[in-house]
Chains A and B, each alone.
Chain A
Amino acid sequence: DSGVTQTPKHLITATGQRVTLRCSPRSGDLSVYWYQQSLDQGLQFLIQYYNGEERAKGNILERFSAQQFPDLHSELNLSSLELGDSALYFCASSFHGAGSTDTQYFGPGTRLTVL
Protein backbone atom coordinates (compact mmCIF):
# COMPACT_ATOMS: atom_id res chain seq x y z
CA ASP A 1 0.00 0.00 0.00
CA SER A 2 1.61 3.24 -1.20
CA GLY A 3 -0.58 5.49 0.94
CA VAL A 4 -2.02 7.18 -2.15
CA THR A 5 -5.73 6.62 -2.64
CA GLN A 6 -7.72 7.01 -5.81
CA THR A 7 -11.45 6.86 -6.39
CA PRO A 8 -13.28 5.43 -8.11
CA LYS A 9 -11.39 2.25 -9.01
CA HIS A 10 -13.48 1.67 -12.12
CA LEU A 11 -15.56 4.06 -14.16
CA ILE A 12 -17.68 3.28 -17.20
CA THR A 13 -19.30 6.11 -19.08
CA ALA A 14 -20.42 7.18 -22.54
CA THR A 15 -18.86 9.39 -25.15
CA GLY A 16 -19.49 13.08 -24.61
CA GLN A 17 -19.81 12.74 -20.87
CA ARG A 18 -17.74 14.33 -18.12
CA VAL A 19 -16.12 12.53 -15.19
CA THR A 20 -14.07 13.48 -12.15
CA LEU A 21 -11.27 11.34 -10.76
CA ARG A 22 -10.12 11.93 -7.22
CA CYS A 23 -6.74 11.43 -5.55
CA SER A 24 -5.56 11.75 -1.97
CA PRO A 25 -1.77 11.94 -1.62
CA ARG A 26 0.33 10.26 1.04
CA SER A 27 0.28 12.05 4.35
CA GLY A 28 2.88 14.82 4.24
CA ASP A 29 3.36 14.83 0.47
CA LEU A 30 2.86 18.21 -1.16
CA SER A 31 2.99 17.30 -4.81
CA VAL A 32 0.48 15.39 -6.91
CA TYR A 33 1.01 14.07 -10.43
CA TRP A 34 -1.52 12.72 -12.91
CA TYR A 35 -0.65 10.15 -15.56
CA GLN A 36 -2.53 8.37 -18.32
CA GLN A 37 -1.64 4.81 -19.30
CA SER A 38 -3.27 3.22 -22.31
CA LEU A 39 -3.30 -0.53 -22.85
CA ASP A 40 0.21 -1.99 -22.73
CA GLN A 41 1.79 1.45 -22.90
CA GLY A 42 4.06 3.46 -20.69
CA LEU A 43 2.99 6.40 -18.62
CA GLN A 44 2.01 9.68 -20.21
CA PHE A 45 2.54 12.57 -17.83
CA LEU A 46 -0.46 14.89 -17.75
CA ILE A 47 0.05 17.49 -15.03
CA GLN A 48 1.69 18.18 -11.67
CA TYR A 49 0.57 20.30 -8.74
CA TYR A 50 2.67 21.38 -5.79
CA ASN A 51 1.02 22.73 -2.67
CA GLY A 52 -2.05 23.86 -4.59
CA GLU A 53 -0.34 25.38 -7.60
CA GLU A 54 0.28 23.98 -11.05
CA ARG A 55 3.98 23.18 -11.40
CA ALA A 56 4.37 21.31 -14.67
CA LYS A 57 2.18 20.42 -17.61
CA GLY A 58 2.64 17.51 -19.96
CA ASN A 59 0.51 16.16 -22.78
CA ILE A 60 -2.79 17.14 -21.23
CA LEU A 61 -5.69 17.76 -23.59
CA GLU A 62 -7.68 20.98 -23.36
CA ARG A 63 -10.73 18.83 -22.51
CA PHE A 64 -8.93 17.75 -19.34
CA SER A 65 -8.33 19.89 -16.29
CA ALA A 66 -7.11 19.36 -12.77
CA GLN A 67 -6.75 21.12 -9.49
CA GLN A 68 -5.25 20.58 -6.07
CA PHE A 69 -7.27 21.71 -3.09
CA PRO A 70 -6.07 23.28 0.21
CA ASP A 71 -6.21 19.87 1.90
CA LEU A 72 -3.85 18.69 -0.92
CA HIS A 73 -6.22 16.21 -2.50
CA SER A 74 -6.53 16.55 -6.25
CA GLU A 75 -9.17 16.04 -8.88
CA LEU A 76 -8.77 15.36 -12.58
CA ASN A 77 -11.73 16.39 -14.69
CA LEU A 78 -12.21 14.79 -18.10
CA SER A 79 -14.90 16.25 -20.34
CA SER A 80 -16.38 15.59 -23.79
CA LEU A 81 -15.07 12.08 -23.44
CA GLU A 82 -14.00 10.14 -26.51
CA LEU A 83 -13.41 6.42 -27.00
CA GLY A 84 -9.67 7.08 -27.06
CA ASP A 85 -9.77 8.43 -23.52
CA SER A 86 -10.31 4.90 -22.22
CA ALA A 87 -7.22 4.20 -20.13
CA LEU A 88 -5.81 3.76 -16.66
CA TYR A 89 -5.35 7.07 -14.89
CA PHE A 90 -2.77 7.12 -12.14
CA CYS A 91 -2.15 9.65 -9.47
CA ALA A 92 1.21 9.83 -7.74
CA SER A 93 2.46 11.94 -4.89
CA SER A 94 5.85 13.05 -3.65
CA PHE A 95 7.15 15.26 -0.90
CA HIS A 96 9.33 17.77 -2.74
CA GLY A 97 7.82 17.88 -6.19
CA ALA A 98 11.26 18.26 -7.74
CA GLY A 99 12.54 15.50 -9.96
CA SER A 100 16.11 14.80 -9.07
CA THR A 101 15.82 12.20 -6.33
CA ASP A 102 12.21 12.68 -5.35
CA THR A 103 10.28 9.44 -5.10
CA GLN A 104 6.83 9.29 -6.60
CA TYR A 105 4.37 6.98 -4.88
CA PHE A 106 1.59 5.77 -7.11
CA GLY A 107 -2.01 5.07 -6.32
CA PRO A 108 -3.84 1.98 -7.58
CA GLY A 109 -5.29 3.84 -10.53
CA THR A 110 -8.74 4.49 -11.96
CA ARG A 111 -9.72 2.42 -14.96
CA LEU A 112 -11.87 4.55 -17.26
CA THR A 113 -13.89 2.90 -19.98
CA VAL A 114 -15.67 5.12 -22.49
CA LEU A 115 -18.36 3.33 -24.51
Chain B
Amino acid sequence: TQLLEQSPQFLSIQEGENLTVYCNSSSVFSSLQWYRQEPGEGPVLLVTVVTGGEVKKLKRLTFQFGDARKDSSLHITAAQPGDTGLYLCAGAMDSNYQLIWGAGTKLIIKP
Protein backbone atom coordinates (compact mmCIF):
# COMPACT_ATOMS: atom_id res chain seq x y z
CA THR B 1 0.00 0.00 0.00
CA GLN B 2 1.43 3.34 -1.10
CA LEU B 3 1.06 5.79 1.79
CA LEU B 4 1.87 8.75 -0.46
CA GLU B 5 0.15 8.92 -3.84
CA GLN B 6 1.60 11.26 -6.43
CA SER B 7 -0.32 12.46 -9.44
CA PRO B 8 -0.03 12.61 -12.30
CA GLN B 9 2.54 9.89 -12.78
CA PHE B 10 3.68 11.50 -16.02
CA LEU B 11 3.27 14.97 -17.47
CA SER B 12 4.59 16.38 -20.72
CA ILE B 13 3.88 20.03 -21.53
CA GLN B 14 5.21 22.88 -23.61
CA GLU B 15 7.63 25.47 -22.32
CA GLY B 16 5.80 28.43 -20.80
CA GLU B 17 2.79 26.51 -19.50
CA ASN B 18 1.83 26.21 -15.85
CA LEU B 19 1.39 22.91 -14.05
CA THR B 20 0.53 21.44 -10.68
CA VAL B 21 1.52 18.07 -9.29
CA TYR B 22 0.01 16.52 -6.21
CA CYS B 23 1.08 14.40 -3.29
CA ASN B 24 -1.80 12.89 -1.31
CA SER B 25 -2.21 10.63 1.68
CA SER B 26 -4.75 9.52 4.24
CA SER B 27 -2.03 9.78 6.88
CA VAL B 28 -0.87 12.85 8.74
CA PHE B 29 2.74 13.87 8.36
CA SER B 30 4.82 16.07 10.62
CA SER B 31 6.62 17.42 7.58
CA LEU B 32 6.79 16.87 3.87
CA GLN B 33 9.68 17.28 1.50
CA TRP B 34 9.88 17.69 -2.26
CA TYR B 35 12.87 16.45 -4.23
CA ARG B 36 13.81 16.71 -7.89
CA GLN B 37 15.81 13.98 -9.58
CA GLU B 38 17.46 14.42 -12.95
CA PRO B 39 18.37 11.40 -15.10
CA GLY B 40 21.44 9.58 -13.83
CA GLU B 41 21.64 11.57 -10.62
CA GLY B 42 20.39 11.34 -7.06
CA PRO B 43 17.38 13.32 -5.80
CA VAL B 44 18.03 16.85 -4.58
CA LEU B 45 15.92 18.46 -1.88
CA LEU B 46 13.85 21.43 -3.08
CA VAL B 47 11.85 22.32 0.02
CA THR B 48 10.56 21.11 3.39
CA VAL B 49 7.13 22.18 4.62
CA VAL B 50 6.22 21.63 8.25
CA THR B 51 3.11 23.67 9.11
CA GLY B 52 -0.42 22.91 7.93
CA GLY B 53 -1.41 25.47 5.30
CA GLU B 54 2.17 26.56 4.76
CA VAL B 55 3.12 27.98 1.37
CA LYS B 56 6.72 28.26 0.25
CA LYS B 57 7.97 29.81 -2.95
CA LEU B 58 11.19 29.01 -4.72
CA LYS B 59 11.41 31.27 -7.79
CA ARG B 60 8.75 29.85 -10.17
CA LEU B 61 7.94 26.92 -7.87
CA THR B 62 5.21 27.19 -5.22
CA PHE B 63 4.81 24.46 -2.62
CA GLN B 64 1.78 24.11 -0.38
CA PHE B 65 1.18 21.83 2.59
CA GLY B 66 -2.46 20.99 3.23
CA ASP B 67 -4.19 22.33 6.32
CA ALA B 68 -4.55 18.81 7.71
CA ARG B 69 -0.94 17.93 6.81
CA LYS B 70 -2.09 15.00 4.68
CA ASP B 71 -1.34 16.40 1.24
CA SER B 72 0.86 18.78 -0.66
CA SER B 73 1.09 20.36 -4.08
CA LEU B 74 3.82 21.77 -6.26
CA HIS B 75 2.88 24.44 -8.78
CA ILE B 76 5.31 25.53 -11.48
CA THR B 77 4.70 28.76 -13.33
CA ALA B 78 6.00 29.27 -16.87
CA ALA B 79 7.73 25.90 -17.00
CA GLN B 80 11.14 25.72 -18.63
CA PRO B 81 13.04 22.76 -20.12
CA GLY B 82 15.38 22.90 -17.12
CA ASP B 83 12.43 21.90 -14.91
CA THR B 84 12.40 18.47 -16.55
CA GLY B 85 12.90 15.67 -14.06
CA LEU B 86 11.32 13.28 -11.61
CA TYR B 87 9.60 15.09 -8.75
CA LEU B 88 9.36 13.08 -5.55
CA CYS B 89 7.54 13.89 -2.35
CA ALA B 90 8.52 12.32 0.95
CA GLY B 91 6.72 12.58 4.25
CA ALA B 92 7.96 12.21 7.79
CA MET B 93 5.91 10.84 10.67
CA ASP B 94 6.83 11.54 14.25
CA SER B 95 6.62 7.83 15.06
CA ASN B 96 9.12 6.78 12.42
CA TYR B 97 12.67 7.68 11.62
CA GLN B 98 12.32 6.96 7.93
CA LEU B 99 10.76 9.08 5.22
CA ILE B 100 7.75 7.70 3.35
CA TRP B 101 8.30 8.24 -0.38
CA GLY B 102 5.84 8.76 -3.19
CA ALA B 103 6.44 7.07 -6.55
CA GLY B 104 7.13 10.39 -8.27
CA THR B 105 5.85 12.51 -11.12
CA LYS B 106 7.93 12.40 -14.27
CA LEU B 107 7.83 15.87 -15.82
CA ILE B 108 8.99 16.70 -19.33
CA ILE B 109 9.03 20.30 -20.54
CA LYS B 110 9.32 20.55 -24.30
CA PRO B 111 11.04 23.61 -25.81
Which residues of A approach B to under 8 Å, CB–CB?
Answer: 2, 4, 33, 40-45, 48, 50, 55-56, 58, 90, 92, 97-109
Q: In this complex, which of A48, A99, A101 has the most chain B Cβ atoms within 10 angstroms of its Cβ?
A: A99
Contact with A along B98-111 (1 / 0, CB 8 A): 11011110100000
Q: Give the number of chain B interface residues (Cβ < 8 Å).
A: 26
Specify the main secondary structure of chain A where it touches its partner.
loop
Chain B residue numbers with a CB within 8 Å of A56 are 96-98
Contact A90 B97 (CB under 8 A): no
Given known pairs A41-B103, A48-B97, the reply for A100 and B30 (CB within 8 Å) is yes
B99 x A104 contact (CB < 8 A)? yes
Q: Are A42 and B104 in contact (CB under 8 A)?
A: yes
Q: Which residues of B contact A103 (CB under 8 A)?
A: 33, 45, 48
CB of B92 within 8 A of CB of A99, answer yes
Does the CB pair B44–A106 fall under 8 Å? yes
7 pairs, CB–CB < 8 Å, chain A vs chain B: A42-B86, A43-B43, A55-B97, A92-B42, A101-B48, A104-B99, A106-B43
**A13 vs B108: C-alpha distance when bound (angstroms):** 32
Q: Mask for B73-100, Cβ within 8 A of A = 1, else 0?
A: 0000000000000101000111011110
Q: Are B41 and A109 in contact (CB under 8 A)?
A: yes
Task: Verify A42–B42 contact, CB threshold 8 A.
Answer: no
